[in-house]
């Protein structure tokens, strides 16, 4: 990351985010239903929630019988997730694990071939280069393990930021109604596909989510916009055995 790209942290906005996200229509009625629809079976599986935020996905996974480890770069977010997951426990009394960890660095807490699956909802666009992260995901996944992530839709983003450089990765800033100023990276669709392929993953499914009927009732204007311009892209990929 160059010095003209100050490092944005969710610590600055964690309270606002954690308070609003579970009922925010773009999450609760759009991104989350589409992600869960694509989630492979998780009962009895070991799952990494990479960028767990305030822990909604980790709680969902634990509720479906998964052994969950959550990680997030924001200490404040990890506090929220720990608080939420303190309610969850497995039949043997063990509890989901949540820790502070940076996805742009090696995942030193995890041995190779630990996890059956990784979810990373709305996180990767905070990283400029996805390859080191995907290589680490490949290392900590068991052979044939899956990666399910959501991110900003590259076409919609390119339009929103009126970019003249679609094919580059660009640092951008935005203002989100319910939390304020955020910074992240936009990238072309090809970069998403290539960074997976270069890191030993095969794309299994790509989904452009369709907003739910409940979303239409709550936000009719946004609903019609989303039918023209999907906000997110969801990818289910699998670790190749012959990497």
Ligand X SMILES: C[S@@+](CC[C@H](N)C(=O)[O-])C[C@H]1O[C@@H](n2cnc3c(N)ncnc32)[C@H](O)[C@@H]1O
Residue 121 binds ligand X (CB under 6 A): yes
Rounded Cα–Cα distance for residues 157 and 152 (Å): 7
Task: Reduce the DSSP state of residue 192 to 3 states and report it.
Answer: helix
Residue 124 binds ligand X (CB under 6 A): no
Binder of ligand X out of 102, 168, 173, 198 (CB under 6 A): 102
Q: Are the C-beta atoms of residues 231 and 156 closer than 8 Å to each other?
A: yes
Binder of ligand X out of 48, 85, 122, 141 (CB under 6 A): 122
Binder of ligand X out of 53, 145, 200, 211 (CB under 6 A): 53
Residue 21 binds ligand X (CB under 6 A): yes
Residue 51 binds ligand X (CB under 6 A): yes
Nearer to ligand X, 181 or 243 (CB): 181
The secondary structure of residue 168, as a DSSP letter, is S
Helices (H), the chain: 14-20, 25-26, 32-38, 56-63, 75-85, 131-140, 154-160, 189-198, 213-218, 220-228
Which helix (H) or strand (E) covers residue 151, if one does? strand 141-152
What backbone torsions phi and psi does residue 227 show, to the nearest 5 degrees? -75, -20
Nearer to ligand X, 1 or 202 (CB): 1
Stretch that binds ligand X, among 87-95, 121-129, 169-177, 203-211 (CB under 6 A): 121-129
- Residues near ligand X, by CB under 6 A: 10, 21, 51-53, 56-57, 72-74, 77, 102-104, 121-123, 126-127
């Amino acid at each position: 990351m160059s010095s003209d790209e100050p490092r944005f942290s969710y610590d600055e906005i964690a309270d606002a985010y954690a308070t609003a996200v579970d009922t925010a229509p773009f999450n609760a009625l759009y991104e989350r239903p589409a992600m869960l629809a694509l989630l492979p079976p998780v009962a009895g599986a070991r799952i990494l929630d990479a960028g767990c935020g305030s822990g909604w996905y980790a709680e969902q996974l634990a509720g479906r019988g998964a052994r969950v480890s959550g990680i997030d770069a924001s200490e404040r977010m990890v506090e929220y997730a720990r608080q939420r997951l303190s309610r969850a426990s497995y039949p043997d009394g063990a509890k989901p694990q949540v820790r502070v960890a940076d996805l742009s660095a090696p995942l030193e807490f995890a041995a190779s071939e630990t996890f059956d699956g990784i979810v990373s909802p709305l996180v990767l666009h905070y990283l400029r280069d996805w390859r080191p992260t995907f290589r680490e995901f490949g290392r900590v996944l068991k052979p044939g393990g899956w990666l399910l992530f959501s991110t900003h839709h590259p076409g919609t983003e390119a339009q929103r930021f009126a970019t003249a450089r679609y094919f580059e990765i660009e640092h951008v800033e935005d203002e989100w109604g319910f939390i304020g100023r955020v910074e992240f990276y936009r990238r072309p669709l090809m970069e998403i596909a290539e960074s997976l392929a270069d890191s030993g993953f095969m794309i299994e499914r790509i989904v452009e989510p369709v907003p739910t009927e409940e979303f239409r009732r709550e936000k009719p204007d946004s609903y019609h916009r989303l039918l023209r311009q999907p906000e997110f892209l969801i990818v289910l990929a699998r670790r190749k055995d012959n990497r």
